Amino acid sequence: MADIRSYMKEKEKRQKREKRQIDYKEKIARHKTASVYRILLVLLLAAVFIIFVVIRYKRHTYTDYDIVGTSPRESISGTTDVKLGSSILTYSKDGAHCTDSRGNVTWNQTFEIQDVILARNGETVAIGEYNGRSIYIANAEKLLGEISTTMPIRQLAVSETGNVTAVLADTDLTWINTYDSSGEMTREGRTHMDDSGYPMSISVSPSGELLLVAYVYVDAGVLRTKIGFYNFGLVGSNYSDGLVSTYSYTDMVIPCVGFLNNDTAFAVGDNRLTIYSGAHVPEEAAGHLYDREIRSVFYGGKYIGLVFLSDNNENRYQLEVYDTETGKVNDFYFDLEYTDIFFGKDNFVIYNETECQIMTMDGTEKFHGTFSKAVRLMAPVGNAYKYLLMTDDSIDTIQLK
């Protein structure tokens, strides 16, 4: 009997130990489950907070601005300011100079030019004279070189690397020659109206590998435009004259072509916007038709904007914005007499000397106000609604509020 009682006691003790172990495991499991739920709750609250902040940021509008930095400058009558990367190029018929955002002059070049032709690509610029024979190349930091041509200059295009392509006028021919920044001619090409046509517009990719030319010509009494892409790299060496792709359009003149980056180009005709894709052999990627006269073309980042007179009586202008990835973004109506329009990551800015309007791509007006003094140039500084304003006597950095 004693053995039975001892056995039963041991069994009872063992069962209690097992029960305590099971209870302990259950507590651990419950604790782990509670911890997971707490973590998920914290993540959910954080996500809700982030969404709230983003929505609030997107819907937030600005009514004024603070000047958060300023530097003095002296302007000369008859000069023009343009953005050159994060610096400012100021030029006139007597010369050009470049200043940084603090007003420090990084380079200066004097010349005598009656009719200035200017081409920009990123931080690089080429300055020449219509019907002249000299071209000056520079970037935001320094002068890169000077080119002398043997024939009158009609058009210019420049790459970020400093290569310049010039359309030159001859007696019966038109030449399209390319030079490096030292002035050496690296490619020579000629066109004739009866053969290739006349080059209406040209552009060079940032890397300098691709040249885009829009030729206008008459075929059997019909006006046509031919788009030609020339590749100056290894791929182009496998093609005659480096001409890697061509496209022809009937009853259309194309006065504006350009590159958004090394992979994407565009052509704006009098009734069609065409987008091309490809870093080596560009192909037609999209086309967008319209039936009104374009007043202005603006582009930057992945956006192209076409300004028309408004199709309603409530606004003066209509801006059609196209995204090179998704097509048409939206139509925007405005009344501001604009000096310039430029694009940000998800917005655009319209401004003149006295007034500015900022819109997001979904149609939200973020800011519409006046400047405290006349503005010659406005440019973005980062993406947080901070901008640089060039005036006659200062370079101001403003933050919207």
DSSP string, 59-93: H--B--EEEEEEEE----TT-EEEEETTEEEEEET
- 362 and 356 in contact (C-beta within 8 Å)? no
Percent residues over pLDDT 70 in the chain = 87
Task: Compute the distance between CA of residue 74 and CA of residue 67 in angstroms, rounded to an integer.
Answer: 19
Distance of CA 1 to the CA centre of its chain: 97
Task: Compute the distance between CA of residue 364 and CA of residue 382 in angstroms, rounded to an integer.
Answer: 20
User: Where is 193: in which H helix or E strand?
Assistant: none
Of the two residues 260 and 21, the one the predictor is more confident about is 260
Q: Model confidence over 227-256: pLDDT tens digits?
A: 999 999 999 999 999 999 999 999 899 999
360, 352, 357: which is closest to 383 by C-alpha?
360
Q: Model confidence over 48-76: pLDDT tens digits?
A: 556 555 555 556 899 999 999 999 998 88
pTM for the whole structure: 0.84
**Residue 78 CB partners (closer than 8 Å, separation 6+):** 92, 93
> Which phi-psi region, left, alpha or beta, contains residue 3 (left: φ > 0; alpha: ψ -120 to 50)?
alpha
Provide the token pair at 215: 């030729």
User: Where is 160: in which H helix or E strand?
Assistant: none
Least confident of 19-33, 116-130, 346-360: 19-33
Q: Model confidence over 296-312: pLDDT tens digits?
A: 999 999 999 999 999 89
- Largest Cα–Cα distance in the chain? 131
Overall CATH class of domain 65-75+295-401? mainly beta
Which residue, chain included where needed, has tokens 């489950």?
33
The yes-or-no verdict on residue 315 having pLDDT over 70 is yes
The yes-or-no verdict on residue 201 having pLDDT over 60 is yes
Least confident of 73-87, 260-274, 275-289: 73-87
**How long is the chain?**
401
Q: Where are the domains of the chain?
A: 22-59, 65-75+295-401
What's the pLDDT at 386?
Answer: 95
The yes-or-no verdict on residue 330 having pLDDT over 90 is yes
Provide the token pair at 212: 């885009």
Per-residue confidence band for 102, with pLDDT thresholds at 50, 70 and 90: confident
